[in-house]
Each structure stands twice: as structure tokens, then as C-alpha cells.
Structure 1
Amino acid sequence: MSAIPERRRRRMMTAVALGVIALLALPAGLVVSAATLLNSTDGRNVTADSTIKIPSTPVALLAGVDSRDDIAMIAVFALSPSGRGGTIVSVPVGSNARIGRTGTIHRIAETYRESGFDAFVIDVEGLLNVSFAASLKVNVNELTAMLEPVGDRTVVVDSDVYDTGIDGSVRQIAIAGEQVMTPELMATALLASQRGVPESQRLARMKSLWTAIAGTSLTSPATSVPTTDVDDTSTSSTVVPIEVSGFFSALRDGPIQLWQFAATPVPAGERNPMKLDLYDLDRAEVVMVMASVAPSSVSVSSTNVSFMVDSPFADASIIKKAVERLILLKVNVLVIRQTGQPAGANTELLYRDVEVRDAVENYDLYFGPVVLRQPKERVEGIDVRLVLGEDFRTYLNTPAGQATPTTTTSSTIPD
């Protein structure tokens, strides 16, 4: 067999393997990151007035620039409540700065070139609806230094990697397939971008590189991804790092999970008249992930009621359906956790007080049958806990549950 057909075969097998891995691993990023985030049965995490405290889950922003000083990589580091380990969230640099189907078309990376790094940080905070405790811009040399403690890693790359230099020249960084990469090569591959090639062709590579850096084997089943646990840390006074390098060191002190946001290309047309390499993020996915891995860093964006979602289901698509409905209702979704408990028969809305009950009493129109009750314990900053039950999963399979919901319901707490 000649070299060219063999390389094609190797690329195809690598692409197939990466696709299967993505299908297996994607839901696990949310399910285990949210597991045991709060432990309401642990008296150490409950105040005298039965208020459950949301543990500290700070986030930091790392942005990398290529040889042309364009933003080529965006990663969010979210620490676990223990301050050891956490989640790396990979964000496409071509994300539309206004999530959803409305708003001005604007690539998040362009904010840096047009308005500087500080404005870029604010834009990413708005995109993800979080507040960063630290932020940093790095070039390839600075990223290499950050990755030095990681050492050499085995990486599966789905296609050859090229970079366009400031003079317009194109150089090859790496070839497709499984290979051992040094910290310098990983940093170079993370920040490599070839002019004229859409970012969608880089996303699988970015996920593979961050997976390798996180120390997660690409051949491991999704269920092997480590779980964040706060059972032994609810009384700890975790010191939040003041620099992004400190966040990365803290991540490496414990198990690291990875999530990469899905990105839908915006076709040329009315929404994209300039034919930009632009991508819509799924707002429900963004809310779902950030409220699960970094609840204490999520921003309250309105005066409407604030929600926590408890799901017994190890299926992120069910949680996402609930989040889609909450977004439609324009509430604040601040905390999401996968409880690890068997699903109850009923979906429950646990409301803080009578005023909140009035705001959510018609939610059966969006979630199917719900039971409203006022619990003894409260969660700090949360007005309502939505506890998903088997009847919600059943409801999703009915014509009403599969129809696109609409709303005229107000979720504002009455004065």
C-alpha cells in the first residue's frame, strides 16, 4: 500500500474513533460534574436556619493568541468545591457573542482585536453568564510554560494541523493520527489556525488536546470520568487562586473533566451578511453546563425567580429539555446537579414562600404534572428547586411534551 492511501485510511479510522468517543463521552461531562455538588443531608453544609450553602466553584478564563495575535483558543477553568480538580470548558472562538437567534452578529474573538483584552473578557462573561475570578491571555511560549508540568501526552489528532504565520506563510504543525506530543507541540497545536479554514475543522482537535492535557484517556468509557465530591470539604475554606496559572495548578491537583460546547455554523445570509466564520452556541447547553460546574460563579441576569434543578437521570438530554423550558420562562438557572438517586414518580417544585408559589403555579403547562410544596430547608439564593421525576420523562414523549412550548406566564415574584 502506498503512503497516500495509507494516510487516508489512518485519517478515516481516526475520525471514526473520535466520533464514537464523542458520542460516548459528551453526556458524562455534565452528569458527573453535577453529581453530589450539594449534599443537603450533610449538617456541616446547612446553617442553623436550614439554609443550604452553595459551595464555592470559581472560574478563570484562559485565552490563547496565534502568531497573528488573533484569539485562537478559549478555555474556562472551573474549580471543584474542594479547590482540587474541576472542569475545563472549551469554547469556540467564533462563537456569536449574542447567544441565540437574535442580536447583532459578532464573533467573540473579534472583540479582542477591536476593543482589547478587557472588553473581550467582559464579552465572554456575557456569553457564558458567569463572572471570572481571573483571566489571562497567552502566546505559544507562555502556554508552553504553563503546560510544562503536564509532560508529554498521547494525543489523537483527526487531521493534519497547519498554521498561517503573520507573513501569510503556512507551516505544518502535526500530522493526523495518534502521537506523543510535548508540551510545546500541544501548545502550538492548540493555538494553530490556518487562514481560510473554518473553525469547525479545528474543534475535534481542540477536544483531543484538552482531553490529553486533562489526563483523561480517550479510550476510557464515559463512566470512568471522575466525580466531583464535596462530602469532605463542605467546611473547608478554599482559597481562590488569584492567577490563571494557579487555577491550572489547582485543577491538576484533582480529577479533571472536559466539556466542549457544540457549535452550529451560521450560514451566509440575513444573519451573517459578511459571511463570517460564525457559530451559534446552544443557550440551553451553556446554561446547563455552567450551572452544573460553576454554580457559585453564575450571574443573576434578571429579577425573575432563581432556580436549582435536581435530576436523577444520567441523560443530559432530559436535563437540557428542562433547561430549555426554564429559559423560555426567563428565570435564572443558577444550580444544576445530577443527584445519583433513583427517580421519584413525581416532578416537584419546591418553592421558598407563597409569593414564589404564585409565580410558578402554572408550570405544569411546561413540565407536565408537577407537585408544589414548601420544604423546610432552603438553598441560599434559590427561590425554587425543580426536582425532575419519572412523569417529566414520560411527558417528554407525549405530543404536548414534544411540541415547541410557548409562554405567556410571568415568572416574576409579585411585589
Structure 2
Amino acid sequence: MTAVRSASVLRERWTRLGAIVCVVALVLVAVLAAVGVRTLANSKAGQNASSLPPAQALPRTEAALLAIKADTGALAALIVLAKAAPGGDGKSRGGAIIPIPVGSGIQFGKNPSLSRLAELYLAGGVAALAEQAGSLLSITFSVVAELDVPAAARLLTPAGTVTIRQSAGNQTFGPAAAATMLATQSGRLEGPHFASTVAYWTGLALRVGKGLSFSGSQTTGAITRFFDSILTGPISVYPINGSKVPQGDANPNNSDVYRLDRAELDRVLGLVLSNTFSPVDAQFTARVVNPTGDPDVTLAAIRKIRAAGGAVTIVDETKGELPAQTEFSLTGRLERADVKLFAKEFGLTTFESVAEPGERHMRYVDIDLTVVIGAGFKQTGASK
């Protein structure tokens, strides 16, 4: 009798355990189904991971830092050179020239006072300059060069005579005169000299046109090969002017120091150096496609994305058809719910499916979001 009762009790326990297991399994199935539905609803405008087109590598570009020093040893001109992405034959032709103020300020730690790049150069040489300039711009340089006037003149020789167009009248500069001008900083304020520097590089870009054919400059080394490559194709000039910092905590000695606009940097680097650009403290990365071609519209979009915790690392300002509403596509880690938190800043918006390579909503490696500017944002959002 005891054995029968024990068997009955054991059977009853196993029955109850089996029922509990079934209930738990049903609950898990329901939860997983709900999560799956939510994931599908929030992912890539209804696309799942297996259906997404392949992600493309970022355009392969390189950056060089060119420092031109005066006879006194002071830093007189600072230029970032950017090679264009290689063509079908694997060769890079043309690129971009990005002059930046030698008085650009960089902050160390919690100290509010800004240190000028020119002063860091005097204290630590070109190696310290390259390190701090790279940190300030969030890019990596493949070539760093420090040139005096004679070396700069040799580097500029292939460009020949350059005409600078100014309101007071045109001026022409041969290589030696140009090098002397770039290395001469008269007066306490950098502004006038920086304007002349930008005017020279703009004239050089016009002189180069679609590209020069030449035997190479007389300066040996990596910077020669880099600069010669840029001269063989179209050149864009993107000066980063910065804003003069008034006397105060950031500029206690009322030095000639300039604060660079991070949105302006993001735009320029996103246009020409996307694969060397490594923003820090960003919650997500974005690509901005601006069919208007208006830099101010691009800057407005970048500022709104930065305010949401993002960083724009690719910019496309090729003029084209403007959609009625700003378009978003999710190409990385973000979900719709994440984007909706700041999408209202762009006015009326739509979510688009990720597209094939070559399309506006194509995927790039390490890019979470693509934003295609629409007519509504151009008319209203860009002015807010």
C-alpha cells in the first residue's frame, strides 16, 4: 500500500512539473514573438539583417599635415592636405586643401584656457604639432612635413605662377614669392595673413583646373609625392576660419587664439576625409546627403545631429533632386524609436529602405544612419 501511495504521489508531482514547464514554454514563445515583431517593425524600414544590401567601405583617402615656418622658427601657416579617393586605375588625382589658423586653440583636461597650436609647435616641434592637430581635428595623418621658405618654394614649383584675385586688384606669385608670403606673418593678428593664405590656395586650385602634367617637384620625400598627387587633378579649398576668442577664462592673456566650429570641421572632413575621421564620444554615426549643395543647410543638419549625440562622418553635397520630406534610413545600430526622438527637428520626415550601392540610401561600414535633406528642412528647419 505504501509503495502504491508513493508511486501515486510521485506521478502527481511529475504531472504538476510538466504543466509548469509547458506554461513557461508558452510564455517564452509569446515573449520572443513580441520581441521579434518589435525588432522587425523598428529595423531598416521593415528589412531584416539578411535582406540588407552589402555595406560599402568608406572612400579611401589620406591626410597630410603641412607646416610652413618663418625664418624666426615660428609656425606661419598650417595646411591639411587631402588626397582624392583613387579612381578605377587605383591612382589618386586631385583632392582638397584645408588651411587652418596657426592660432587654433586646443583645451587640455578641465583647464578652460585654450593653448594655441603655434605655441605647442614652438614648445614641442612638429611631432607635438601633429599630435595635437590630429586630436583637435579628430583625424589621422599619413604624412607630416615641416618646411622652411626654400623647401616650400621647391614644393610649389610645379604649380608655377599663381594669380590671387583680390578686391584691391590681382597679384601674381611665383613659387619663391608664394613661399615667402606663406611664411610671413606681419602684425599681431592672424586674420589678414590667413586671408592671404586662403587666397593663394584658391588661386592655385584655379591654376590647376582639371589637373597638371609635370615631371614632379624638386623636393624629395613623402610630402612631395603627396602634394604632386593633389596637383594632378581638381582641387577644392575648404578654409576653416574659426572665431576669435575674446579675453576671458578661455583666453586669459588676450592671445590671438581661435575656436574652430566643430560642425564646420565635421562638414569638411566628412566631404573629403571620411575614412581618416574618427569622432570621439559619439552615440551614433551618420551620413548626410544634401541635394541642395548649400553648405549652410549641411551645417544646420550636422548641428541637429550633434545635439542628439551623433557625429556626421560622411557628407555628400552633390546637387540633385530634392525630396519633399527629409528621408532617414537605418544602416547600422539605430532603431526607429531612437531616431524619432530627434527626427522632428527635421520637419516632416519619412523612413526609407536601405538601398543598393550607388543609391542615396546605400549602406557604409560603421555608419548607423543616412539622412537625405528634404525641401521642408531647406525652407524652415535649416534656419532654426
TM-score bracket for this pair, using the shorter chain length? 0.7 to 0.9
AA aligned to 2:115 is H
Deviation per residue, 1:232-274 (Å, 9 max, x gap) = xxxxxxxxx9822211100011111111112211122332111
State whether structure 2 residue 176 is matched by structure 1 residue 184: yes
**Greater than 6 Å deviation, 4+ residue runs:** none
Q: Which one has a bigger Cα radius of gyration?
A: 2
Q: Quickly say closer, same or farther: Cα 1:112–1:349, change in 2 above 3 A.
A: same
Please tell me the root mean square deviation across aligned C-alpha atoms, in Å: 2.6
Deviation per residue, 1:302-353 (Å, 9 max, x gap) = 3521111111112111111001111222212110002322100111110035
- What residue in structure 2 maps to residue 132 of structure 1? 141
Segments of structure 1 that go 5 or more residues without pairing to the other structure are 1-47, 159-175, 218-224, 228-240, 403-415
- What residue in structure 2 maps to residue 59 of structure 1? 63
Q: Quickly say closer, same or farther: Cα 1:157–1:184, change in 2 above 3 A.
A: farther
Q: Which of the two has greater helix per residue?
A: 2
- What residue in structure 1 maps to residue 36 of structure 2? none
1:106 to 107, 115, 118: 115
Segments of structure 2 that go 5 or more residues without pairing to the other structure are 1-51, 87-91, 212-219, 357-362
- What residue in structure 1 maps to residue 252 of structure 2? 273
- What residue in structure 1 maps to residue 262 of structure 2? 283
Counterparts of 1:150-161 in structure 2 under 5 Å?
150-156=159-165
State whether structure 2 residue 191 is matched by structure 1 residue 200: yes
Residue 356 of structure 1 contacts residue 384 of structure 1 at CA under 8 Å; is this kept in 2? no
Residue 356 of structure 1 contacts residue 383 of structure 1 at CA under 8 Å; is this kept in 2? no
Aligned length: 312
Q: Normalising by the residue count of structure 1, what TM-score does the alignment of the two structures yield? A: 0.70
Deviation of 1:79 (Å) = 1.1
Q: Normalising by the residue count of structure 2, what TM-score does the alignment of the two structures yield? A: 0.75
Distance 2:287 2:266 in 1: 12
Q: Quickly say closer, same or farther: Cα 1:281–1:355, change in 2 above 3 A.
A: closer
Distance 2:333 2:82 in 1: 35
Deviation per residue, 1:94-114 (Å, 9 max, x gap) = 111249xx9431112211112
2:80 to 76, 82, 89: 76
Structure 2 SS opposite 1:297: coil
State whether structure 2 residue 354 is matched by structure 1 residue 375: yes
Identity among equivalent positions (%) equals 27
Structure 2 SS opposite 1:198: coil
Distance 1:307 1:329 in 2: 11
Distance 1:344 1:155 in 2: 39
State whether structure 2 residue 66 is matched by structure 1 residue 87: no
State whether structure 2 residue 154 is matched by structure 1 residue 145: yes
Q: Quickly say closer, same or farther: Cα 1:355–1:254, change in 2 above 3 A.
A: closer
Residue 162 of structure 2 contacts residue 207 of structure 2 at CA under 8 Å; is this kept in 1? no
Q: Quickly say closer, same or farther: Cα 1:266–1:302, change in 2 above 3 A.
A: closer
Residue 291 of structure 2 contacts residue 322 of structure 2 at CA under 8 Å; is this kept in 1? yes
Counterparts of 1:6-405 in structure 2 under 5 Å?
50-82=54-86, 83-98=92-107, 103-156=112-165, 177-194=169-186, 196-216=187-207, 243-302=222-281, 304-352=283-331, 355-377=334-356, 378-396=363-381, 402=384
Distance 1:201 1:338 in 2: 29
AA aligned to 1:197 is R
Distance 1:64 1:197 in 2: 18
